Homo-oligomer: A and B are copies of this chain.
Amino acid sequence: MKLLHEKIRKDGKVFAGNILKVDSFLNHQIDVKFMEALGEEIARRFSSCGVTKVLTVEASGIALAFPVAQKIGCDMVFAKKSQTKNLGSSVYSTPVESFTHGCVYDIRVAKEYLNEDDVVLIVDDFLANGNAVRGLLDIVKKAGAKPAGVAIAIEKGFQDGGKRLREDGVRLESMAIVESMDATTGEIVFAD
């Protein structure tokens, strides 16, 4: 998606350790108008799938999942990373290893909000090793729901999460795939 390539080139910052900082618009400060444009494009790509629910995981996925669900016209659900007092005991849960935080945590969705009649579009801001997405797919499977596919803002193409998901037959739509980044020059190369 050309609009996202341009935005990343303009506002993204590359740091050592393959870190792409896009927190000026995607996952800390949120450029709401830009997220609406991303949401519209994702909704368009999955428009023929009969999506009934958009599923993401807290926290930064929410600001993309919201406009996607707006454009599709359905509800969204965000998986929780901690067992709060407000979340009942009847949940689907699965362990996820985090690249960003360097730990393993369980993600949880209350059973009442996903069921076998749902067609679920999974949305997240980043895809690297794919662990969060695999966790969400596992929850969709446990709920007996149908996965429509996975929509990601930025895929790190130099990690193998996206490749393995595609090999497994998952429909994966990444709005931008970063092939390589250079922290010294700031250069970013996109797929296509």
Contact = CB atoms under 8 A, between A and B. Distances in A.
B100 A32 contact: no
Copies in the complex: 2
A23 B87 contact: yes
A153 B84 CA distance: 19
Interface string A43-62: 00000000000000011101
A112 interface: yes
Given A59-B62, A101-B82, A110-B23, A32 B70 contact: yes
Contacts of A127: none
Most chain B Cβ neighbours within 10 Å, of A35, A63, A87: A63
A151 to B, nearest CB: 16
Contacts of A1: none
A28 B63 contact: no
Given A58-B58, A62-B59, A101-B82, A28 B87 contact: yes
A96 interface: no
Contacts of A78: 28, 30, 59, 63
Given A62-B59, A63-B66, A66-B66, A86 B32 contact: no
Contacts of A59: 58-59, 62, 78, 80
A137 B62 CA distance: 23
A100 B74 contact: no
Interface of A: 17, 19, 21, 23-24, 27-32, 35-36, 58-60, 62-63, 66-67, 69-70, 74-78, 80, 82, 84-88, 100-101, 109-110, 112-113
Given A30-B78, A32-B75, 6 more contacts: A23-B86, A28-B77, A30-B76, A32-B66, A58-B59, A59-B78
